Amino acid sequence: MTRIDYTDLVGGLGLVLTGAAVSYVSISQYPLGTLQRMGPGMFPAILGVLLAGLGVLLSLQALRRPGSRPDIRIFSPLFVLGGIAAFALVIVPFGLVPAILAITVISSLAELRVQPVSLALLTLALCLMAPLVFVVGLGLPISLVRWPF
Amino acid sequence: MEFLANIGLGFSVALSLTNIFYCFLGAFLGTLVGVIPGLGVLAAISMLFPLTFHLEPTTALIMLAGIWYGTTYGGSTASILLNLPGTPANAVTCLDGYPMARQGRGGVALFMTTVASFFGASFGIVLLTLFTPVIADYALRFGSAEYFALMLMGLVAASTISEGSAVKGLSMVVLGIIIGLVGMDSQSATVRFSFGVMGLLEGVSLIALAMGVFGVAEIIMSVRRVRTADIDPETLRLKAIKPSRDEMRRSWFPMLRGASIGSFFGTLPGTGPSIAAFLSYAIEKRVSRTPERFGNGAIEGIMGPESANNAADQTAFIPTLSLGVPGSATMALMLGVLMIHGVAPGPNLISSQPELFWGLIMSFWVGNLILLLLNIPLIGVWVRMLTIPYHILYPAVLMFICIGAYTSGFTVLNVWMVLVFGALGYAMRIFGFPGAPLLLGFVLGPLMEEHFRRAMVLSRGEFLTFFERPISAVIMALTGMILIWSVWSAEIIRRRRAARAAGDGATTHEAREG
């Protein structure tokens, strides 16, 4: 337990920053117009102020109450998101099968305890199943394997 | 007679071979997703949504709706056997379902919840059929001011009533609306918040947002946390699922009460199946002559809630289809699906797309019947799904998410968006911000802006127009009441908590601060 709720304080300040940025961009870059003929900047400008206001409210509440330490993990998001990034990087130049290989292996690392046999079987199964469903079954135009060089 | 003709039209659409097949597929996949804890209905619908791109909008909706009510059927399985709710709407089923399973009556519980689910759903479908056209007819008179007020009420209700802090819910609604504004503004053709990325001209992809915030974030949270269970298959033989005469007798009224509660709360924005199930449980416990049996395997404690959540699943379609104003994130996703297929939602939907509307509703009968048939003999199969280890499951789900994102438009940008929203979703979980209001705001945002601007043009920039038009004024007043009520109830909870903490002794922080 902490004396004030740091989680909500940081969350609230994040909202304030986001709201301020949205309002700033809408006011400086898009025409505001008048209330009768609203320009593209008006609605987001109002929303940005609203968001920042809610952020202030949340931060003030956080100062008045004790909080608990959030359970933040590093490796789970790192490997899961890393797998998605690998998929995005591989799918166009190299094709579907290498992309599946990349995402399965990298995201499996999030378990932090690799079981090589089951991972190999899973990868093999997915590499067979996905092309069958998406390319053969649904007829989507994705190349299975490619060599760009 | 027109009514009968409409129902006939609906059945002729729903009973076409293609639609029955996709209805079956949706119900089947929904049950699967519902059974497996750690895979939500929103993630499932958005994951499977790309598969429906090449389908007719009616068929696509039939399948996606099947997933939606299928999960509630399936969700009770995990609740009863593992004490782990498959979906939030089934959480309360754990209270008496799990004790029943521990007493070796798991088969009975699974069988009876399926019956209750079917009963509740049927009740909901009847109401949906009767009331949607009436409400839509009434709503034809609505102007932009009314629509803006309605959407505002939906968003405020959805973000403040459901769970947690009202401020957090509201801020996620606002953030969702802002994300919804990214891309080309339909009225002035100005490109907003695209940061020079050409692909963002058409806006942020609904699919990528839903898959990131719900699917990917859920996976990050569940890795190394979800445990696989062992279940005694003996209690689930077909012989062991037959309820006793006494259990049958005690199930009728809870089912009926549950269906009424569920139907009512399903139509309201922000409440939906979870709250309906909780209320139904509370009421069953109160009216029971033997409340001490609750929590120890009372059959009333599973029949009421399971009937309520399924009824709510169906009646949630009433505001979505009659007004075009969804009350929950899932309904917002359905609405988004409609719009992606080029169908304009609103009160005109029923008259302009009668095949879609009546076909969809009548397909609910088909789907629920399929679920009844699917669930009772196949209970053993669903239970076996529960024993798939999570470390096998989640890479496969991630792969489906990525392929789905990529193939919805064949652009890698969508995959990157999944990554960004996955990170955002994880950050939201850490800071305790709810995801459903974000999605609702995202879908309703552009519509709200349009109605707001139009109302302002019509009123010559007079903001009071929202309070001068009678219908809009009533809705605005309701919205204000919801806001005040949520602030007030939050304050009560805070005081109560503070009082309890102070009562606990000198170790608390209030005491130290004082």
Write down the domain spans for chain A.
6-63, 75-137
pLDDT band at A20 (very low <50, low <70, confident <90, very high): very high
Nearest CB to A22 within list B178, B220, B426: B178
pLDDT at B141 over 60: yes
3-state helix, strand, coil in chain A (%, to 5): 70, 5, 30
CA distance A103 to chain B (A): 7
Give the residue among B266, B265, B305, B264 at the shortest CA–CA distance from B282: B305
In DSSP terms, B192 is beta-bridged to B183
List the helix and strand counts (H, then E) for chain A: 5, 0
Q: What is the pLDDT of residues A109-137, one digit of tens each?
A: 988 888 888 899 999 999 988 888 888 87
CA distance B511 to B491: 19
Backbone dihedral angles phi then psi of residue B192, each to the nearest 5 degrees = -115, 140
- Average pLDDT rounded to a whole number, residues B9-13: 87
Give the residue among B348, B364, B286 at the shortest CA–CA distance from B63: B364
Nearest CB to B398 within list A22, A88, A107: A107
pLDDT band at B1 (very low <50, low <70, confident <90, very high): low
CA distance B42 to B65: 11
Give the residue among B10, B120, B28 at the shortest CA–CA distance from B371: B28
Nearest CB to B399 within list A3, A19, A100: A100
Say yes or no for a CB contact (<8 Å) between A31 and B433.
Answer: no
Nearest CB to A107 within list B171, B395, B431: B395
Identify residue B108 by its one-letter amino acid code: V
Say yes or no for a CB contact (<8 Å) between B509 and A91.
Answer: no
Nearest CB to B415 within list A72, A84, A141: A84
Say yes or no for a CB contact (<8 Å) between B403 and A130.
Answer: yes
pLDDT at B416: 95
Token couple for B43: 């993630």
Contacting residues of B for A87, CB less than 8 Å apart: 399, 402, 406, 415
pLDDT at B247 over 90: no
CA distance B314 to B360: 11
Distances (CA, A) of B482 to B403, B432, B477: 41, 22, 9
pLDDT at B508: 38
| Beta carbons of B328 and B158 less than 8 angstroms apart | yes
Q: What is the pLDDT of residues A80-117, one digit of tens each?
A: 999 999 999 999 999 999 999 999 999 999 888 888 88
pLDDT band at A40 (very low <50, low <70, confident <90, very high): confident
CA distance B116 to B375: 12
Q: Which alpha helices (DSSP H) does B161-299 contain, by range?
A: 166-180, 206-210, 217-222, 245-267, 272-287
pLDDT band at B229 (very low <50, low <70, confident <90, very high): low
- Can you spell out the DSSP letters for A32-45? -B-SSSB-TTHHHH
CA distance B217 to B439: 14
By the CB < 8 Å criterion, does A21 face chain B?
no
Interface test with B, best of A9, A25, A38 (most B CBs within 10 A): A38
| Beta carbons of A142 and B399 less than 8 angstroms apart | no
Say yes or no for a CB contact (<8 Å) between B419 and A81.
Answer: yes
pLDDT at B163: 62
CA distance B75 to B91: 9
Task: Give me the residues of A, 27-46, that contact B with CB < 8 A.
Answer: 30-31, 34-40, 43-44
Nearest CB to B461 within list A34, A39, A100: A34
CA distance B222 to A126: 21
By the CB < 8 Å criterion, does A112 face chain B?
yes
- Average pLDDT rounded to a whole number, residues B425-454: 88
CA distance A9 to chain B (A): 9
Contacting residues of B for A8, CB less than 8 Å apart: 431-432
pLDDT at B509: 40
Share of chain A above pLDDT 70, in %: 99
pLDDT at A19 over 90: yes
Q: What is the pLDDT of residues B163-204, one digit of tens each?
A: 668 889 899 999 999 999 998 887 777 888 877 777 788 888
- Average pLDDT rounded to a whole number, residues B198-223: 85
Say yes or no for a CB contact (<8 Å) between A43 and B412.
Answer: no
Render the burial of B217-251: b for 16+ CB within 10 Å, e for the rest.
bbbbbbbeebeeeebeeebbeeeebebeeebeebb
CA–chain centroid gap for A105, Å, is 20
- Average pLDDT rounded to a whole number, residues B343-351: 84
pLDDT at B78 over 50: yes
- Average pLDDT rounded to a whole number, residues B349-367: 89
- Please give the span between the terminal C-alpha atoms of chain A, in angstroms, as a whole number: 56
Interface test with B, best of A51, A107, A117, A123 (most B CBs within 10 A): A107
Say yes or no for a CB contact (<8 Å) between A88 and B419.
Answer: yes
Say yes or no for a CB contact (<8 Å) between A40 and B192.
Answer: yes
CA distance B318 to B341: 20
pLDDT at B513: 34
Say yes or no for a CB contact (<8 Å) between A37 and B433.
Answer: no
Domain boundaries, chain B: 2-502
pLDDT at B232 over 70: no
| Beta carbons of B383 and B34 less than 8 angstroms apart | no
Say yes or no for a CB contact (<8 Å) between A76 and B513.
Answer: no
Query: For all residues of chain B together, what is the average pLDDT?
Result: 83
Q: Report ipTM (2 d.p.).
A: 0.93
By the CB < 8 Å criterion, does A53 face chain B?
no
Interface test with A, best of B52, B223, B416, B483 (most A CBs within 10 A): B223
Share of chain A above pLDDT 90, in %: 49
Chains A, B: CB contacts within 8 A come to 174
pLDDT band at B296 (very low <50, low <70, confident <90, very high): confident
Say yes or no for a CB contact (<8 Å) between B423 and A77.
Answer: yes
Residue B341: in which H helix or E strand, if any? none
Helix (H, G, I), strand (E, B) or coil at B83: coil
pLDDT at B506: 41
Say yes or no for a CB contact (<8 Å) between A83 and B407.
Answer: no
Nearest CB to B418 within list A38, A72, A84: A84
- Average pLDDT rounded to a whole number, residues B106-110: 84
Give the residue among B271, B293, B312 at the shortest CA–CA distance from B68: B312
pLDDT at B37: 67
Nearest CB to A103 within list B395, B432, B494: B395
Nearest CB to B407 within list A37, A70, A140: A140
Burial class from Cβ neighbours inside 10 Å (0-12, 13-18, 19+) for residue B20 reads: middle
CA distance B443 to B331: 10
- Average pLDDT rounded to a whole number, residues B371-382: 78
Q: Pick the residue from chain B with its C-alpha nearest to A120.
A: B392
- Average pLDDT rounded to a whole number, residues B121-144: 89
Nearest CB to B457 within list A36, A39, A96: A36
Contacting residues of A for B400, CB less than 8 Å apart: 130
Least confident range of B291-300, B478-487, B489-498, B504-513: B504-513
Say yes or no for a CB contact (<8 Å) between A88 and B461.
Answer: no
pLDDT at B510 over 60: no
pLDDT at B471 over 90: no
Between B502 and B370, the more confident residue is: B370
Contacting residues of B for A108, CB less than 8 Å apart: 391, 395
- Average pLDDT rounded to a whole number, residues B335-358: 85
pLDDT band at B125 (very low <50, low <70, confident <90, very high): very high
pLDDT band at B233 (very low <50, low <70, confident <90, very high): low
Tokens 């899932």 label which residue?
B330
CA distance B363 to B340: 21
pLDDT at B511: 34
pLDDT at B489: 78
Token couple for B472: 């809009």
Say yes or no for a CB contact (<8 Å) between B395 and A108.
Answer: yes
